[in-house]
Structures are given as structure tokens and as C-alpha cells.
Amino acid sequence: MTEGEAESEGQAPWALVARGLLNLYWVLSWLCVLLMVDTVSGAGGPSAGTRISSQFPASGVNQSPVVDCREVCGLNASNRCDFVRSNPDCRSEGGYLDYLEGIFCHFPPDLLPLAVTLYAFWLLYLFLILGVTAAKFFCPNLSAISTTLKLSHNVAGVTFLAFGNGAPDIFSALVAFSGPRTAGLAFGALFGAGVLVTTVVAGGIAILHPFTAASRPFLRDVIFYMVAVFLIFTALYRGRVTLAWALGYLGFYVFYVVTVVLCTWIYQWQRRRSLVYSVPGTPEMLSGSEEDRVSSNTNSYDYGEEYRPLLFYQETTAQILLQALNPLNYRKWRTKPVYWRALKVFKLPVEFLLLLTVPVMDPDKEDGNWKRPLNCLHLVISPLFLVLTLQSGAYGVYEIGGLFPVWAVVVITGTALAAVTFFATSNSEPPRLHWLFAFLGFLTSALWINAAATEVVNILRSLGVVFRLSNTVLGLTLLAWGNSIGDVFSDLTLARQGYPRMAFSACFGGLIFNILVGVGLGCLLQISRGHVAVELEPDGLLVWVLAGTLGLSLVCSLVSVPLQCFQLNRVYGCCLLLLYLTFLLVALLTEFGVIRLKTV
């Protein structure tokens, strides 16, 4: 029985709602403190009428007005290339490829559909890279780090696991917040993913497997998420995020983590007390069950020992390297269907590159996934990859003293360290400091995700220029769908396999992390670069439709679920799906100007 399961039965729904409102009071007290801090810190800042862009700071020099890059499609074909190259609004924030220049300078006008098609396929492949990197490299290393640090499951779940699951959303938000022109992508993606998960995923879980939700965790997560959405909505309304607000977002998530840990600890303490007072012989029974588990594990180990081969086949160093770099499991290949094989063919190149550049530590394996030749190779390749991808390679090509490039220093240092490691270790036994490879793999996979997310944001903005779409609608559709597709399938699969409570709990905890850390850390990084505040330029009515729909879905769940005694049935799921379809229709009608605000 998990936390909150006992409260789902035997208590009136209104009592649970009252408890939730009491929690909401304490959460709103944090908001009041944040508002007071911001009032004090922003007293000397610019007035509301002085909109200082975080990318183009005000100066005494007269600057020519920047034309919206989406106006390029209204020009003659002969003038589009010069417009894209000379207009600051068309410049990409980081990344390795200039997609707008590629469309309007390297493709003739009659081949524009071909360029868009190629970009669409490249976008799908980038989403594939994000998914593979997060699932097979980023999350396992985070799990190894949490095991090495001996973190509890609750702390690891709301920190490292949430970071691993939300890595594509977080890095996409960090990239999008690099400029006010693309901030709409971040808000569209974060709010769009929130609407998608709280309606489509939650509704799909209720339809596939009706169940009873845990009361206290549900109320806690929904209330915290509602307050987080309100905080972001306030920033959009104000049009700027100051240092106090950015720190407040991160601090509010820390407050959420502490609340989760304390609630779990109190629940477990109460449960232990109830067991001790209700059954006097419980400690002996528990110790006996533990002995049974130990005995069972020991017997299974002996059973495995009996059937181990008498002679061990020891692989050579070259064989270990080739096997470690091979992303294809031939036994699984023969048993899988055709569509799995087709997808695997597309995954093979990126999986090979990831295996070559990202070390993965697995504490569940006896050897910790120690591959001596490959791990020694990682000591050279992984740091080199880090310096060549950080800031799109700007640090890697920097020359020390104008003579020696940074990447050469990294290669020499890594080669020396790899040689020492190779001759000081063996193939069969991992070294004592093998756990450090988990941190190296974490950093390398994080930069893989960041590089892919940068290209995703640049492609989406380029497609928005071509089709004259706002960044917000691209964020709430393509970016939100692409980043959330893995969560959708994994949560629905969990529900189909009989774990709807686990899948439903994952819907809200990860979203709180994504929206608070994504916005807070993204804005904090921009402020740390010398900006007074991060200016936000929301795309009019569409942002309010997005935030309003997310708030409406949360309020409906907060009211209707306790009234149903936390019984989530198919009717509830169908209502959530209908809400998402209605939202999508209204958002598209707003984007194309069918629904608009009347100007006075």
C-alpha cells in the first residue's frame, strides 16, 4: 500500500478537499513572499514602459528597427537570401546549421517544398536522438549517480529521475530562453506538454485501466502544479522575469521536493506505529520475512552456481571493444517484428556514436558495465566531445596564448589518463573509481541532448518563418508532441500492464520539475550573462488560451476527482480527451485569426 492509498477509502471527499485547500494556503504563502521580494528587488529596475530586450540592450546609439523574419516570404525570391543574412531577427541562437539560410539561399524557390520535407525528416530524427540519449544513456547514468550517492527512492524520484525523464523538455526550454524571439517556443512546449499529459495521458490511463488514485499525493501534486502554472502565468502577464522570480521558481521546486520527502517519511512513520500497536509480533515476522528473502536470494545464487560452466571463456581486449561498440543484439533482432527492425536501422548510427562518446555505468551489473578498452577510449573522446559541443564548439577551437587550441590540450591530457587507466586495470575487474564514469557519462549525454535540442528549436523556428506560424503554436504542437511522445507511450503501457496508479503519479511530478526548473534555470542563465531581466514577448491571445486551458484542466481534476472518491473511470478519461481536442481546435483557430480579441 503506497502513501495516500488508505485515505482513498473511508473519508468524505469534502474532508480531502479541505485538506488540499489547507495545503494550498501554505503554498500561496510562498507566493506572497516571492511577490514581496520581487517588489523590493525591482524597485530600481526599468519601468513597465521601458522594455529592454535581453538580446538587444538599450544604448545611446540609434538602432534600425528589426523587421520580423516571417516577412521574408512576402519578398521577391531574389531578395530573400539577402534579407535572411542581413536581418538580426533571422539569426539562429547557437547550433551548427543555419536553417533559414539553407532554405532561402541554397534551395531555389521552386524546391522550397523539398527543403521543408528534408527539414521535417531531420526534425523527426532529432527527436529520435533525444529519446535514445535520454532513455539509454542519460537516465542510466543518473540512476548510477543516485545509487552512488546513496539517495533514497523518494529523493531520487523527484530530482534525478525527474531530470532524466524531463531532459528533452528542460534543454529545449534552456535553448529557447536564449532570446526573446524564441521564448514563445519554451512556454508553448512547457504548457503544451502540460495540457497533453494532464488530459490525453491521464485520460488514456483512466480509459485503459480504471482505478482509485492515491488521495494525498494526488492533491499535493495537483496543487503544487497549479501554483507553478500560476507563477509562470504571472511572469507572462508582467512580460519579464527578474532574478528574484527565477530564484523563486527554483526555490519553489526545492520546497516541493522537501514536501514530498517529509510527507513520505511521516506516512511511513505512521504506518510503522500502526503496525507495532496492532500486531505485537510484527518485528519478529518482519525479520523472518527478511530471512526468507535472504535465503531465497542465496538459494537462487547457489542454483546459478551449479549450472555455471566449469571453464570460462576469456575474451580478448579487441573482442570486448567490438562487442561494446555493437548496438545490435542479434538474438533480439531475429525475434522482433518488421517495424521494430526498421526503426532500429535508423537508431543504429546514433546509438553507435553514443556508445563511442558516452560511458554508461550500471550498478545493477556485477562489473558495473565496465568495458576496459571502451572506457579508456571514453577518457579521450568524451572530454573532446564536451569541448567541441559546449557553446557550439566556441571553447574547443579557442587557442591558448594564440597558439595552442583547447581541443589539443584535452586530447593530450585524455590520452595520458587513458594510458594510465589501461595499464593499471584489468578487463575482468572494474577499478575503484569506476563510479566517476557515471558523472562523465552524465555530462556527455547532457550535452548530446542540449545539442539536439538546439537544432530542434532552430528548425521549428525556421518552419515557423516559412509557414508564418508563431513560436507558441509550434511549441504547443510539434515541440510538445515530440518531447512528450515517450512519456505518452511509457505511461499508457504501464496502465495497460496493470500499473495505472504509478503511471498516473508520473503525470504530475515530472511536469512540476519541467515547468519550474525549465523556466527558472533558463531565465537564471540569461540573467547571469549580464542581463537585468529576461524580457518575454508572448504571442498575444494564444498564450492566454494555452495557460487558461492548462489551469482549467487542473481545476477540473482537483474538483471532480475527490467528488468521485478518487475513482477514475472511463467517463472521466473521455472528458479529458474531449477537453484536449477542444483546446487544440481553439488554439489553431486563434493562431489563424479566426478567434481574436476586439481592439478598443
Q: For the segment 214-250, what is each residue's pLDDT rounded down to a tens digit?
A: 888 889 989 999 999 999 988 888 888 899 999 999 9
Dist. CA 368–CA 507, nearest whole Å: 31
Query: Higher confidence at residue 422 or residue 147?
Result: 422
Q: Which of 75, 65, 124 is nearest to 104 (CA)?
A: 75
> Cell 506560424 belongs to which residue?
469
Query: Higher confidence at residue 565 or residue 147?
Result: 565
Dist. CA 481–CA 542, nearest whole Å: 17
The reported pLDDT for the residue numbered 363 is 83
Q: Tell me the HSE value of 163 on the side-chain side, using a 13 A CA sphere.
A: 21
The reported pLDDT for the residue numbered 216 is 85
Could you give the C-alpha distances from 297 to 307, 308, 514, in angstroms and in order? Answer: 16, 17, 39
- In this structure, of 80-84, 173-177, 318-322, 411-415, the range with the lowest mean pLDDT score is 173-177
Runs of H (alpha helix) within 196-239: 202-208, 215-238
The x, y and z cell numbers of residue 303, run together, are 542454483
**Backbone phi, then psi, for 408, in 5-degree steps?**
-70, -40
Q: How many Cβ atoms from other residues are within 10 Å of residue 202's Cβ? A: 27
pLDDT surpassing 80 at residue 402: no
Residues contacting 496, CB < 8 A, separation 6+? 208, 209
Is residue 406 within 8 Å of 395, Cβ to Cβ?
yes
pLDDT surpassing 90 at residue 348: yes
Is residue 527 within 8 Å of 237, Cβ to Cβ?
no
pLDDT surpassing 90 at residue 501: no
Dist. CA 596–CA 11, nearest whole Å: 46
Dist. CA 471–CA 457, nearest whole Å: 9
Mean pLDDT of 386-402: 78
The reported pLDDT for the residue numbered 542 is 84
Termini Cα distance of the chain: 58
The reported pLDDT for the residue numbered 58 is 35
The reported pLDDT for the residue numbered 304 is 41
Query: Higher confidence at residue 13 or residue 251?
Result: 251
pLDDT tens digits, 8-63: 444 444 444 444 444 444 444 444 444 434 433 443 333 333 233 333 333 333 34
Q: Which of 410, 437, 407 is nearest to 324 (CA)?
A: 437
**3-class secondary structure, 568:** strand
The reported pLDDT for the residue numbered 383 is 93
Q: Which of 510, 559, 471 is nearest to 197 (CA)?
A: 510
Angle at which helices 338-357 and 112-133 pack, to 10 degrees? 70
The reported pLDDT for the residue numbered 499 is 79
Band of pLDDT at residue 252, cut at 50, 70 and 90:
very high
Q: Which of 169, 222, 64, 210 is nearest to 450 (CA)?
A: 169
Is residue 177 within 8 Å of 240, Cβ to Cβ?
no
The reported pLDDT for the residue numbered 175 is 83
CATH topology of domain 6-38+108-290+340-351+452-591: A middle domain of Talin 1 (1.20.1420)
Dist. CA 352–CA 347, nearest whole Å: 9
pTM over 0.85: no
Dist. CA 125–CA 103, nearest whole Å: 19
**Backbone phi, then psi, for 493, in 5-degree steps?**
-65, -40
Helix (H) or strand (E) holding 133: helix 112-133
Percent of the chain scoring above 90 in pLDDT: 29
pLDDT tens digits, 442-498: 889 988 988 888 898 889 889 989 988 888 888 888 888 887 876 777 778 778 878
Dist. CA 196–CA 191, nearest whole Å: 9
Q: Which range has the top average pLDDT, 13-22, 428-437, 507-516?
A: 428-437
Is residue 594 within 8 Å of 227, Cβ to Cβ?
no
Band of pLDDT at residue 176, cut at 50, 70 and 90:
confident
> Cell 521574408 belongs to which residue?
72
Dist. CA 240–CA 533, nearest whole Å: 6
Q: Which range has the top average pLDDT, 63-67, 278-282, 475-479?
A: 475-479
The reported pLDDT for the residue numbered 10 is 43
pLDDT surpassing 70 at residue 379: yes
Q: Which range has the top average pLDDT, 4-18, 90-104, 289-303, 552-566?
A: 552-566
The x, y and z cell numbers of residue 85, run together, are 543574412
CA-CA-CA-CA torsion sign (186, 192, 195, 197): negative
Residues contacting 535, CB < 8 A, separation 6+? 51, 52, 53, 54, 180, 239, 240
pLDDT surpassing 90 at residue 349: yes
Helix (H) or strand (E) holding 578: helix 570-591
Round the average pLDDT of the chain to a whole number and report it.
Answer: 79
The reported pLDDT for the residue numbered 11 is 44
The reported pLDDT for the residue numbered 271 is 82
The reported pLDDT for the residue numbered 46 is 34
pLDDT surpassing 90 at residue 414: yes
**3-class secondary structure, 396:** coil
Is residue 147 within 8 Å of 442, Cβ to Cβ?
no
The reported pLDDT for the residue numbered 278 is 61
Angle at which helices 13-41 and 541-563 pack, to 10 degrees? 150
The reported pLDDT for the residue numbered 14 is 46
Domain ranges of the chain: 6-38+108-290+340-351+452-591
Q: Tell me the HSE value of 336 on the side-chain side, using a 13 A CA sphere.
A: 14
Is residue 410 within 8 Å of 383, Cβ to Cβ?
yes
The reported pLDDT for the residue numbered 377 is 95
